[in-house]
Structures are given as C-alpha cells and as structure tokens.
Structure 1
Amino acid sequence: MKSFIKHITLGVAVLVGVSACDVNRLPETNISDATFWRSEADLKSASNYLYTFLPVFNRDDNWSDDAFGLASNNVSDGSRLAPSTDNDNYNIPYNLIRAANNIIEKAPRAEAAGQTAIDRYVAEARFFRAWGYFLLVQKYGSVPLILKTLDDASPELYSAAAPREEIYQQIYQDLDFAASKLPTPTTLGNADYGRISNTAALAFKARVALFEGTRAKFHNYGTPNSHLTLAVAAAKAVIDSKQHDLFANYFNLFQYEGEGRQNRENIIVRQYGVSATERVSTHAYYRSTLENGNLSPTKSLADSYLMTDGLPTSKSPLYKTPVVSLDVFANRDERMGATIMKRGDAYMGTKLIFDVAPLVFNKTGFTFRKYSNVDDWVTQNSTMDRVVLRYAEVLLTYAEAKFELEGQISDADLDISVNLLRNRAKVATLSNAFVATNGLDMREELRRERRVELAQEGFRYWDLIRWKTAETELPKPVLGNYFFRDEFGTSVTVNLTPQNYILVQDVSFRKFDAERDYLWPIPINEISLNSNLKQNPKW
C-alpha cells in the first residue's frame, strides 16, 4: 500500500536543481531534462516529489489554546518578532509551487504517455500548487502569484503581491481541474493508495473555501457567501461520491490499524516507511513530541469534551467534581480518552502502563494519546502515516458552511454530518430542539464538535484566526489538569490557581494584537530582495 513511496526520489533531481534561498527567484531547474518528460513513468516519478511537501508531524497546535510545549510559544503568546528569513513557512511553499509549475509546463512533452496520463499528472501538480498557495495566503494574505517557471531575467521576480481574492480564484481553478482529471479512490485502489484522488481535490477545496468564507464573514471583507457556497458544494460532492465513510474506531484511526485503503475515512495521508526493514522515511513523533512534553493538551481543550448526554460539564447532571485523575474521563465523549492519556492506557517501553502525566515533561498534567504506540516509542523509527485530511473534516465543513451560509442548519443536515461523528463517539445527537431546550448555541456546538473531533491535528489555531476569536481566546492564561496531589506528587514545583488547577502560563505573559496578529509577518529579507513587497500591518 506504500509502494509508491519507495520510488518517491526518482523525480527529485529533475525538480530541485535550484537553491531555495529566496521566495521570488523561481528559475527553471538547471538540470538538463532533454531526455526526460517522455513517458508516463517520467511524469509519475516527477510528480512523486510533490508528495514530500505534505505536512509532517509537527507542533502547530502549540500556536493555539489546545496545547502547550516545554516552553512558551511566541505565536500563541504574541511575543514573536518579524523574522529575517522563514524557510518553513514562506520559502518552502514557493519551492512546491515552482516544482508544480515545472510539471504543468513540461508534462505535455510526454506525448507518448497519452493525453489522459498527461492530464492526470498535470492535475496532481495543480493540486499541489493550490496547496502551496493556500499555505501562503492563509498566513500572509496577499503574496506574489507565480504561475510559470522563471529565469533570472523574468520580471515576475519582482512581482507585487496579488490580491487575496485573485489567489483564491486560482486555487479554485486548480482544484476544479484536479477534481475533473484525477481518479477516484476506488480506481486508485491498493496499488496507488496515497496518491491524490478526485475526492481529495474536492475535500481540500471545501477546506479552503470554508476558511476564506468564514474569515471574510467575521473579519468583514470580500464576498463570504461566494466562498461558503463553494464549501457546501464541494463537501456535499464528497459525501455524494460514496467513496468515503467513517472508520469504526476513533483511536485506531491514528494507529497502524487505520492505515491503507481499508480505512475509507482517510482522504490524504503523509506516508512514511514501508516497513521496519524498509525505512525509506520514518518519524519519532510519539516519543520526541508527545511523551517528551513538546505538545501537551490544555485544560481548555479537555473542558471542551461533552458528557455522554450531549451537554457540557457546566450543564450536565452527569458531571461530578473529579477526586482522582481517572474521574476527569468519566461519562465523557469517547474521543477524550482516545485523544488524552488516562490511567491504564498503554504508555512506553520503560513504563508500559500510564498512570499520570509527569509534570517535568507534560507541563499541563495531560499527555496526548493519538499516534501513541509502545513499539514506536522503543524503536524511535515509526512508519505510521500522518493523517492530513479525512472524511470527518468534510462532514464538519459541510455542517459549518451550511450554517454560516444560511444562518441555520436542519436536523437532516446534522444527521448526515456531525451526528455521524457523535454516534461514533457515543454522545447524544445534536438537533435544533436539543439546542433550544438546553440553552445552547448552534454555532458554538458546531465549533465545539470541530474542536474535539480534530484535536491534535493542527486545526485549532487557524479556526481561531478565521472566526476572529483569537483576540479573545489566546490572551487567556494557559491552565492544565486539576492538581491531584496524591498522584502527581510534590517532587516538581508547580504554580496553581486558587481552584487548584495547574497554572502553566500566567495571563500577564499573553497578548494578541488584533490589528497585527491575524496576518503573519513577511520575512524582512524577502522585502529587501523585492521592493514591491509590502510588510503586513504593524509588523
């Protein structure tokens, strides 16, 4: 199922013969490719390189109120400065765009491959070009829009930033082309599992359109309904395709049991090594990030999980003040115990069973559980895939976009979207009558559902940005678990609130400038190289 990963380096030399030193200088590869671009195999091997840009395991949730690391995060607490360079966030997306442009331009040379094959790999390239531009516009807003390979004399090297709406229209055009030319997941089958499908293009379009539609709505600019309409249509197209459904076990989604074509929930994954003996690409996410405390859940995230009756802890008669750490998980949404470690869970090679988070590492007193695996902890060479986009997100996108577009959502639409997720989590279903009877707010419940379903998957920060709630949520103090003295012990000194919760970062160290922090700073060196680039406000 991971067979194409073995060959992912074959086309790299064709695409990366240039330095990635600055963002606008996007010349063609300096490797002669006169003998390349002749067959379908050439197109496929060139396209393989694009997959290396899919996101790896990371600590992006530390930017939000869902997680905290071993030290404060300068995005989360508002203390960062404009960088001189930013390879990860600014240059690398343009490297991807350059590689995609190269394929789009040169694939037609492979006449022997036939038009269908040419269209397919151009479609993959256009998907990844859209991916690269969304990474950029999401962070920086307006950026230069480069749609061809450049040489040293190209005037586009000094392009001004294109309007964000123009960039979004290009993204949609690329994804529409990709959706029309790429195979279905069924056609890809086991042999090509991991390659981009037509439903992947539609699902990503839904993600992009929801982001911009809600951002435009709550930041009061542009035409939000045009984007929300696209989000609803793209998400519904994925639903109607019948190519995907939910995996039965939420925890196993993020284990080896959830890998491969047999899991129809996964739409895009970052594939790692083929096996323990074929370690083409591996990671140590569990040991180096989760168990070591570089990414730990907050009280804010833990509190967002509902009781099984569908009510928050503040309203549910099922909620009891916890006496021991295991009580925190009693009568809760099953996703909580699948996402956050609890007493009795499998832990690590030197301590097989978890009891309580070690505060010297997990500063919040909580430990994330997704992707935890004792054998991977021991080997530090995991080949477990990273889920990048799954069907659950499509269902959440459909429900939220529908609500924000129409100001309401029917029970029928809830039943084909978020209630499927709640059924899996063994939580009471959501309906308009349930919301009204219990004094809830539908928008907040849809947002809560998104938060808990996608926890630890890198969405929360961007949700706060698009909803324009970062200015409210991020300046709050970071709190952790209740301090169960008999379990945590007293060997580590911790700060506590008057209510006996672990105080991880005081409110005095946290800020968010609403006039500045909804956009990221363009690296200073890029502005120096291109005088037509302008810095974002207040940076």
Structure 2
Amino acid sequence: MKQLLYKMIVWCFVGCLFGACRKAYESVPLGQQITLDLAFDPRDSLGKQAMTYLLTTYQQTFYNGHNRIGGNYLDAASDDAVASASGIPAVQAMATGAYSATMNNADDMWARNYTAIRNATVFIVYINRVPMIEKLPNGQPARAAYRSEARFLRAWLYFQLVKRYGGVPLLGDAIRQITDEVQLPRNSFSECVNYIVSECDNIKDSLRTAAMVTPNTYGRITQGAAMALKAEVLLYAASPLFNGGNIDPANTLTGYTSYDPNRWKLAADAAKAIIDKDDYKLMPNFNEVFTTQAAPVGSNTEIICWMQTGTPANGVESANAPVGYTSAGGNGNTSPTQNLVDAFASDSGYAITDPAAHYNPNDPYAHRDPRLSLTVFHNGSLWLNRAVQTYARGLDRPGGTVQQTKTSYYMRKFMGAFESVSNNPPSYSGTYHDWVYYRYAGVLLNYAEALNEFSGPSADVYNVLYALRKRAGILTDASNTYGVPQGMSQQDMRNFIRNERRVEMAFEEQRYWDLRRWKIAAEVYNNAPLRGLDLQLSSSGQLFYNPIQVLKTVFRDPQMYLYPVPYSEVIKNNQMKQNPLW
C-alpha cells in the first residue's frame, strides 16, 4: 500500500508525512489531477486517493521556517538578528515597520491559510464517503484518525491567523466556492480561542499516540501535537497582549475585554498534561535536537510536531555559514546581534552582568553557556577545520561588496556535522533540517511561565529551569541550582524565564511573537538599538572589541501588535473590520 500511495503524491513531499518517502514529485496542483468524486470514491476501500488529498493538505498547511522570510529567519525581524543582505530585505522592512494594509509584510498569511483551511475542510466533510479498511495498531478505524489530522491542520491554520490578526472569520464545515459572494464578519478573539481549544480536545483521543507511530506513519499528527497546540493557544490567550492588555480595550476582536488570572492556570494545566503523559524527553545533547529525526525513524525524543524538509542536505549551512569557507560555500544570510549574545549566561549560569560570572570583555566568549557556541558563530569558533575570523579583513569579514556579517556573528543553530579533518578541502555532511514546531523544551518553558504568572515561583518552576540548564551543560555546585537565583520574586522569575526562553529557543520563531504577546515590543524595538561588534586585530595580534549600532528598529505602538487585515479583504467584504489604526 505504501508504495502505491507514494506514486500518487502530486506535490513535493513535505513534513508530518510518511518518513519513508524521500523523492521529489511533480509539482502539479491537486485539482488538476483528480476530482473530489475520485478523491473520495466510495469504492476505494484502501483510501489511496483520499490519502493523496490529505498529504497535499499537509503540504499546504505547514511551512519550512528555515530562511523563509525572503531568505532570512523570522528572528531577524526581532532584536535577535539582522539580515546580512544590503538594501532593505523583506525581514528588515518588518523590523522597521515598512508595511501597511495595502503593502502587506512578508509574513502575511491570510490568503494562504484560508486556502488551506478550505482544503482541510473538504477532507473533513468528504472522508466519511470512503470505507477505508485500515486500522490503527490499537484496532481503531484509521479513518477517524485521518479526519482528526485534518481537523488539527485546520485548527493550527486558524491559530496562525489569530496570533497575527486577532479574531478571524471561522468558517465551520461550510465549503465555499471561489466564485461565492462571501460576506462574513470576524469572530471574536475569545470565540476563536474556544474553537481551536475545543477542536484539540475533541480530536485528541482519535489520533495516534506517539507509541503507535511506525516508520510507515512517521510524521503523522499525534495526540501530543494536539495537546501542544492547545497549550500554546492557551498560553497566548493568557498573555498580556490579549489578557488585560488589549490594544483596543472594548474591542472583542483584538483580545479579551477584561483580565482573568485563571487563563494562566488553564495554560499551565494544558502544558502539564503533556509532561504527565511522559511521551517526550529532553535530548541529552542540545544540538542533536535539530539534526536528529524523531523516533521511530530516528532517536529524537524531544520533538512533538515538525515538518520534514526532504533528504539530508546542507542548504541551511550554505545559506547561513560564514562566508570565508569558499570550498564549502556559506552565504551568511543571518547576522545574530550582540543583544542576543549578551543574553547567554556564563558556564556557571550567572548573567554576564553578575560579578559571580567573572565575565571578561577582552575574552568575551570564554566560559559561556554552551548553547552560545551552538547558536552563533563568533570570532574564534571552530568550523570546518579552522577558526572563524570575524575581525575586519578576516576571512569571514573581508569587507567590500561581498555579503557578510553586519554584527561580527553568524548563525550556527540547526547546522549538522561536517567532514573530518582528513577531508581536504573540508565540506558539509548532509543533515536532516526538519523544521520543529513543537518540542518538549518549549512545553516545559510554557509550563514554567504560565505557572509563575498564575501563582508565582514554585518548586515546579525551578525544576524546569534546572532541567534545561543541566541539559545545556551549565556547570553547578553541590546545590544543583545551575546558577538559577534562589528566592526570586514573581517579577524576577518572569524576567528569568523570558531570558531562558530567548536563549533556548533562538531562531525558532519564538522571540518575534514573544515580544508581542508579552506586550513589550514597543519598549524593545524603540529603546534598544540592535548592536554588533567591529573587531579590529592589531599588528601585535591583540583584538579590540568595539561596539557598534547596526539597525534602529521601529515599532508603532499599539498599531503593530497585530497585522492589518489585507486591504483587499476589507474592500470586498462590508462586514470585515480592520484592526485598530490600520
């Protein structure tokens, strides 16, 4: 059955699909290949055509976050990085507010997501026509699981819209044609959150558990994915932007109209349910989280929901590695900022501003949190058999017109192994660069944040921080506190968790959204210019670390906390209300 199914796939294979499929397929729209009557044929007991439709819907739903915003990571629209390219790249336009309702930013997903929502709904409505004799390992009919997968995809698509625009039209199971005159209002933020959460609850028990996944069903949406989506939605709903900090206080489209602390408890409980399920564990090595595939195909115990990006390759390395490795390639697209680098603690866990860290500004990368060297390349980092050189006129910062780092840093995260020193010239090994949407470390951070916001620091909150720092390789003493200050207030713990989230989740499309849901984007963008270093090497071999400003970001408060609804949607739908100040 598996081989027959693969022959029918009409789009390039993408993640959360069958792991054994590694080929590229002819990119022809599904609608040109099969009609709905054929796709959901009552005589197709194997459901082959329906599975083709579902796999295509997976592809239309998920996106690959690697360099997806005009060749850059979304984090380059936050304070963690800048685009290395000259001019005004799309991601820089986002960081400086150079977009409008008529000129949408590069992350606009309105039309894309509603197209995919329609296709998911088609599957949800029509799949019951197909008899499908397949059963899950526990004996349950597989058709119910596939229908729930499509419902997950639809719920996930709605959430991507809600965190960008606030309340959006919920279409239910109605299947509208492109020629239909649709005049639908936006649902309230609360209605959207309730709908997504109820979908996650309703589908959970009919989805596969992590233990049911086999190599032939590798990447399918599982119970854990539905639970992770629910936990994330509730975390956003509890966060200041929507819960007590509504940018338009009486507007039900842009958030709740009153604060409710119990929303934090709901978010904490949803994350704790995943922890208690005990299906996922932190990987022993931080870097392997991003280069090792999930079980049962690989040994990754941490990732919960992800998008496969094909066969092992070196596209991430080629796009982002330092530019001086001409034999292996390296385009240095993303320049991490000094702002991000300074967020990493010492290897004893103390912030570099704490005297206990013994931070030396003349040797700034010594004795630092090991995650720093696995997240950014700095001057002196070892890569492909030599040290990275980001001082002026060094191999990786040669000057001239070559695209190169603007900050003295390059992105290191997600990059895999490279060939041994015996390989000359050195080159990259192929690596799986799956894009991870939900991983266990993120669930732990969600839990710690929500629990602290609801009831303050507790042993459970501290234990999350200990676990993450232990896995990171932070040193500790007999107290086993890994540099986490004891006796913190709720506000101190809030700041500590936010910083831990920043360094743990860098370049995973978290920081950009965190700044918004915490409602601190205006402060961060407008008051803290993005910084780098101008490294100079003297004739005697001494390095001088000269701070520089590389970009002044702009955030129009409160306008930019939500994206504008595309102008084309507003003018064709009399009931479509625009977001405030757009």
1:453 is aligned to: 504
Alignment of 1:66-145 (within 5 A): 66-70=80-84, 71=86, 73-84=92-103, 89-113=109-133, 116-145=141-170
2:41 is aligned to: 36
List per-residue Cα deviations over 1:175-197 (Å, max 9, x = no partner).
11232211111110333221111
List per-residue Cα deviations over 1:141-170 (Å, max 9, x = no partner).
122111231135756x22111111111111
**TM-score, normalized by length of structure 2?**
0.78
Residue 418, structure 1, aligned to residue 470, structure 2: no
Distance (whole Å) between structure 1 residues aligned to residue 320 and residue 282 of structure 2:
27
Distance (whole Å) between structure 1 residues aligned to residue 538 and residue 226 of structure 2:
48
C-alpha distance 104-332 of structure 1, shift in aligned 2 (>3 A):
same
List per-residue Cα deviations over 1:95-143 (Å, max 9, x = no partner).
2211110111011111343772221011101111111001111111122
2:301 is aligned to: 264
1:65 is aligned to: 79
Worse overlay, 518-527 or 395-404 = 518-527
* SS state at 1:3 partner: coil
Alignment of 1:207-356 (within 5 A): 207-214=232-239, 215-217=241-243, 219-220=245-246, 221-222=256-257, 224-256=260-292, 260-274=297-311, 284-289=315-320, 291=322, 292-323=331-362, 327-343=363-379, 345=381, 347=383, 353-356=387-390
1:54 is aligned to: 62
- 8 Å CA contact 2:101, 2:567 repeated in 1: yes
- 8 Å CA contact 1:364, 1:479 repeated in 2: no
Distance (whole Å) between structure 1 residues aligned to residue 115 and residue 539 of structure 2:
47
List per-residue Cα deviations over 1:195-237 (Å, max 9, x = no partner).
1110111112111111121132351534544543332222111
Residue 538, structure 1, aligned to residue 554, structure 2: no
C-alpha distance 103-241 of structure 1, shift in aligned 2 (>3 A):
same
List per-residue Cα deviations over 1:47-88 (Å, max 9, x = no partner).
212332322113210121011002551221223222356785
Alignment of 1:381-392 (within 5 A): 383-392=432-441
C-alpha distance 203-11 of structure 1, shift in aligned 2 (>3 A):
farther
Opposite residue 262 of structure 1, the aligned amino acid is S
Cα drift, residue 294 of structure 1:
2.5
Identity %: 29
Distance (whole Å) between structure 2 residues aligned to residue 171 and residue 120 of structure 1:
17
User: Which among 179, 185, 195 is matched to residue 220 of structure 2?
Assistant: 195
Structure 1 unaligned blocks of 5 or more: 19-28, 276-281, 490-495
Structure 2 unaligned blocks of 5 or more: 1-16, 135-139, 247-255, 323-330, 391-395, 420-425
List per-residue Cα deviations over 1:6-41 (Å, max 9, x = no partner).
589799855x559xxxxxxxxxx9654366363344
Answer 1 or 2: which has greater helix percent.
1
Distance (whole Å) between structure 2 residues aligned to residue 383 and residue 413 of structure 1:
33
- 8 Å CA contact 1:244, 1:264 repeated in 2: yes
Distance (whole Å) between structure 1 residues aligned to residue 554 and residue 236 of structure 2:
24
C-alpha distance 153-423 of structure 1, shift in aligned 2 (>3 A):
same
1:171 is aligned to: 196
* SS state at 1:158 partner: coil
C-alpha distance 11-409 of structure 1, shift in aligned 2 (>3 A):
farther
Opposite residue 330 of structure 1, the aligned amino acid is A
Distance (whole Å) between structure 2 residues aligned to residue 112 and residue 293 of structure 1:
49
**TM-score, normalized by length of structure 1?**
0.84
Residue 520, structure 1, aligned to residue 563, structure 2: yes
Distance (whole Å) between structure 2 residues aligned to residue 177 and residue 378 of structure 1:
48
User: Which among 406, 420, 429 is matched to residue 363 of structure 1?
Assistant: 406
Opposite residue 526 of structure 2, the aligned amino acid is P
C-alpha distance 85-479 of structure 1, shift in aligned 2 (>3 A):
closer
- 8 Å CA contact 2:452, 2:461 repeated in 1: no
Distance (whole Å) between structure 2 residues aligned to residue 177 and residue 8 of structure 1:
34
Aligned residues: 503
* SS state at 1:517 partner: helix
Distance (whole Å) between structure 2 residues aligned to residue 193 and residue 172 of structure 1:
25
C-alpha distance 257-36 of structure 1, shift in aligned 2 (>3 A):
closer
Distance (whole Å) between structure 1 residues aligned to residue 141 and residue 170 of structure 2:
28
Distance (whole Å) between structure 2 residues aligned to residue 364 and residue 308 of structure 1:
23
Distance (whole Å) between structure 1 residues aligned to residue 481 and residue 222 of structure 2:
32
* SS state at 2:266 partner: helix
* SS state at 2:53 partner: helix
Distance (whole Å) between structure 2 residues aligned to residue 273 and residue 399 of structure 1:
34
The structure whose RCO (Cα within 8 Å, separation 6+) is larger is: 1
